[in-house]
């Protein structure tokens, strides 16, 4: 690879394209959430800061990941998982903050964080220690273990503590927002295992011939949907509640 490849985006490379648009979208979202923070009432400021941190941490990692990808043509697996290890727990914190007024305890937050770390540690082992040429059994075993962590977050958001607290909040807007976030976890987060199965030895790699460049394509699209989407749900709830409080005051 020459230096030129590091500095230009090949026009027939959709993966490089999504690394650049992903970077810019995360950056723009961070600026937006950070500035809009001053427009919501005090009790929502922390939630908006967390939204901004999620997209900002991702933006910084995208800056490095797109360079890594352009320079090597390989999946930036380590950077990817460092990013997720910071941002996915912060998404769990959003669930806690939204249900805190209804009585959510810190232990709920830690359980969600623990489950997401289980999901990511096994996912990392599955990808980073996939034997040369790919191993189906390796990818399946760690994919299944990782899915256990994912299933716990999914259950908690749809039927467990988070869902129950949202109902108990007696605030239809909070209940609705938590439900939308639960949809993100069900549909948006489900894009990641599709990407995972494109690595050598993975089911989609074997059955459909989708090569490992698709791993990043799916991850980049999913990140934009989930990180910016989560932030926007929290943002619209915060703005709506701020306006409502101002009217009733």
Ligand X SMILES: *C/C=C(C)/C=C/C=C(C)/C=C/C1=C(C)CCCC1(C)C
Residues that bind ligand X (CB under 6 A): 84, 87-88, 91, 119-120, 123, 126, 143, 146-147, 150, 189, 192-193, 196, 223, 226-227
Whether 51 contacts 97, CB under 8 Å: no
How many Å apart are CA 107 and CA 98, to the nearest integer? 15
Q: How far is the CB of 186 from ligand X (least distance, A)?
A: 11
Element (H, E) at 235: helix 229-248
80 vs 100 by CB, closer to ligand X:
80
Q: How far is the CB of 91 from ligand X (least distance, A)?
A: 6
Query: Which of 173, 231, 181 lies closest to 48 in space, CA to CA?
Result: 231
**Residue with the closest Cβ to ligand X?**
123
How many Å apart are CA 82 and CA 120, to the nearest integer? 10
Q: How far is the CB of 38 from ligand X (least distance, A)?
A: 25
Burial group, residue 164, by CB count within 10 angstroms (0-12, 13-18, 19+): middle
Q: How far is the CB of 5 from ligand X (least distance, A)?
A: 27
50 vs 102 by CB, closer to ligand X:
50
Cα 125 to Cα 78, 120, 135, 213: the distances in Å are 11, 9, 12, 19
- Locate 104 and state its tokens: 């959510």
What DSSP letter does each residue of 181-202 carry, written as one string?
A: HHHIIIIITTHHHHHHTTSTTS
70 vs 185 by CB, closer to ligand X:
185
226 vs 241 by CB, closer to ligand X:
226
Q: How far is the CB of 192 from ligand X (least distance, A)?
A: 4
73 vs 229 by CB, closer to ligand X:
229
CA atoms within 13 A on the CB side of 84: 23
58 vs 166 by CB, closer to ligand X:
58
Q: How far is the CB of 146 from ligand X (least distance, A)?
A: 4
């Amino acid at each position: 690879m020459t230096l030129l490849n590091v500095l230009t985006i090949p026009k027939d490379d959709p993966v490089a394209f999504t690394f650049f648009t992903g970077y810019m979208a995360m950056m723009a979202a961070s600026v937006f959430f950070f500035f809009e923070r001053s427009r919501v009432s005090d009790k929502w400021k922390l939630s908006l800061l967390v939204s901004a941190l999620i997209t900002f941490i991702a933006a910084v990692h995208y800056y490095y990941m797109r360079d890594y990808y352009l320079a090597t043509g390989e999946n930036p697996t380590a950077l990817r998982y460092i990013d997720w290890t910071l941002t996915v727990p912060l998404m769990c914190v959003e669930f806690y903050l939204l249900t805190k007024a209804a009585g959510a305890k810190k232990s709920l937050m830690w359980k969600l964080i623990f489950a997401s770390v289980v999901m990511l540690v096994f996912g990392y082992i599955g990808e980073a220690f996939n034997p040369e040429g790919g191993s189906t059994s390796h990818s399946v075993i760690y994919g299944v273990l990782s899915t256990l962590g994912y299933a716990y977050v999914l259950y908690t958001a749809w039927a467990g503590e988070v869902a129950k607290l949202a109902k108990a909040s007696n605030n239809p807007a909070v209940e609705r927002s938590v439900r939308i976030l639960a949809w993100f976890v069900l549909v948006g987060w489900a894009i990641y295992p599709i990407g995972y199965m494109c690595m050598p030895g993975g089911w989609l790699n074997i059955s459909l011939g989708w090569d490992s460049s698709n791993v990043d394509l799916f991850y980049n699209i999913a990140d934009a949907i989930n990180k910016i989407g989560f932030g926007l749900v929290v943002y619209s709830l915060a703005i709506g509640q701020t306006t409502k409080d101002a009217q009733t005051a």
